[in-house]
C-alpha cells in the first residue's frame, strides 16, 4: 500500500509493457522488437544516415500499425487518465513510449521523453509536425521544401531525451513515484527511482509483469499484467484520500 499522507504530486513512468495488452510489441521481451531488428540499424542517428530508407520503413510500419491497426488504449491507460482527473494533487505521466495511447485514454499532463511516432521533424527546421502517412527519403519538408531531411520525431540511442528539466523537477517534488511496464535497462529513465529515493521523501512503487532490472530500488513491487495492476492501484490510492 503506497502510504501517501497528503495528496502531494504523483509522477508515473511508463514503458512498452503498458501498451503490450493493447497489441503493441515491447522491445526486450523474447518476442520484442529488438529480437527482430538491430538497434544499431534503426534506432541510432548513425543507422539513419547509413540507410535512411531502412529506418523510414521501420517507423512507417509502426506508424501504420498504430494508426490503422485497431490499436486502442487498455484499462491501464484509462486508469491513469482517471487518476489525473480524480487525484487532488498533480499527476504527471512521463512515458518512454512513442505511441499515442495515453493521450487517447484522456491523459493530458504528459511528457513523451523519447518522442512521438505520429510526429516527424525536419533536420534543418527542427520543428516537429504531425505525420500519419508513410515517410519516404524523397519526402519534401513542408516548411523548407528540401528533400532528404525529414526523420521520425523519435529520440534514438545517443540522443538527448526530451523535457528532462521538467521531469527532474517533478521527480524532486513528488510524494509518490510509480514505474509501470519498463525493464529498467535504459537511462535516464532507469535512474528516476534512485533520484526519487535520494530525495528521501517519496514512496516508490513498481508495477510490472515481472521484477525489472531496478526492482530492488523500489519500496513496493507488484507483478502482473498492467491492465489488472494499474486500475487496482488507482482505486487504492484514490480511496486513500477519499477521492472515491
Q: Is 229 annotated as a binding residue?
A: no
From 57, 114, 185, 219, active-site residue: 114
Q: Considering beta carbons, is residue 112 or 203 the nearer one to ligand APR?
A: 112
Ramachandran region, residue 149 (left: φ > 0; alpha: ψ -120 to 50; beta: rest)? alpha
**At closest approach, how far in Å is the CB of 32 from ligand APR?**
5
Contact call for residues 19 and 185 (beta carbons, < 8 A): no
> What is the CB-side half-sphere exposure of residue 88 using CA atoms within 13 A?
13
Is 114 one of the annotated active-site residues of the chain?
Answer: yes
CB atoms within 10 A of CB 194: 13
Q: Are 202 and 13 a contacting pair, CB within 8 Å?
A: no
Q: Which residue lies nearest ligand APR, judged by its C-beta?
A: 17
What distance in Å separates the CA atoms of residue 10 and residue 84, rounded to the nearest whole number? 9
Judge whether 191 is annotated as a binding position.
no
The answer to whether the annotation marks 174 as part of a ligand binding site is no
Q: Which is nearer to ligand APR, 175 or 183 (CB)?
A: 183
CA-atom Rg of the chain in angstroms = 18
Give the nearer residue to ligand APR in terms of CB position, either 17 or 47. 17
- 3-state class (DSSP) for residue 110: strand
As a whole number of Å, the end-to-end CA separation of the chain is 16
| Smallest gap from residue 228 Cβ to ligand APR (A) | 8
Indicate the residue among 96 and 204 with the shorter CB distance to ligand APR. 96
Least Cβ distance, residue 240 to ligand APR (angstroms): 23
State the residues that interact with ligand APR by CB under 6 A: 15-17, 20-21, 26-29, 32, 96, 114, 181-183, 185-186, 208-210, 212, 225-226
C-alpha cell at 229: 495492476
Return binding residues for substrate: 59, 62
Return binding residues for NAD(+): 15-34, 96-99, 181-183, 208-210, 226
Amino acid at each position: 500500500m503506497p502510504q501517501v499522507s497528503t495528496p502531494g504530486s504523483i509522477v508515473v513512468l511508463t514503458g512498452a509493457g503498458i501498451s503490450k495488452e493493447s497489441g503493441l510489441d515491447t522491445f526486450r521481451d523474447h518476442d520484442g522488437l529488438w529480437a527482430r531488428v538491430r538497434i544499431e540499424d534503426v534506432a541510432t542517428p548513425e543507422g539513419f544516415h547509413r540507410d535512411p530508407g531502412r529506418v523510414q520503413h521501420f517507423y512507417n510500419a509502426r506508424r501504420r500499425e498504430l494508426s490503422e491497426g485497431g490499436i486502442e488504449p487498455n484499462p491501464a491507460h484509462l486508469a491513469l487518465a482517471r487518476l489525473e482527473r480524480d487525484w487532488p494533487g498533480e499527476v504527471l505521466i512521463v512515458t518512454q513510449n512513442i505511441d499515442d495511447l495515453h493521450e487517447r485514454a484522456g491523459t493530458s499532463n504528459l511528457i513523451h521523453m523519447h518522442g512521438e511516432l505520429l510526429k516527424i521533424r525536419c533536420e534543418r527546421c527542427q520543428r516537429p509536425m504531425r505525420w500519419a502517412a508513410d515517410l519516404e527519403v524523397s519526402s519534401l519538408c513542408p516548411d523548407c521544401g528540401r528533400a532528404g531531411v525529414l526523420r521520425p520525431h523519435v529520440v534514438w540511442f545517443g540522443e538527448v531525451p526530451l523535457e528532462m528539466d521538467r521531469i527532474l523537477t517533478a521527480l524532486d517534488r513528488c510524494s509518490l513515484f510509480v514505474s509501470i511496464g519498463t525493464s529498467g535497462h535504459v537511462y535516464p529513465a532507469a535512474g528516476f527511482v534512485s533520484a526519487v529515493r535520494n530525495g528521501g521523501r517519496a514512496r516508490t512503487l513498481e508495477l510490472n509483469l515481472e521484477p525489472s532490472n531496478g526492482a530492488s530500488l523500489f519500496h513496493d513491487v507488484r507483478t502482473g499484467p498492467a491492465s489488472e495492476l494499474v486500475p487496482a492501484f488507482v482505486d487504492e490510492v484514490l480511496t486513500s484520500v477519499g477521492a472515491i
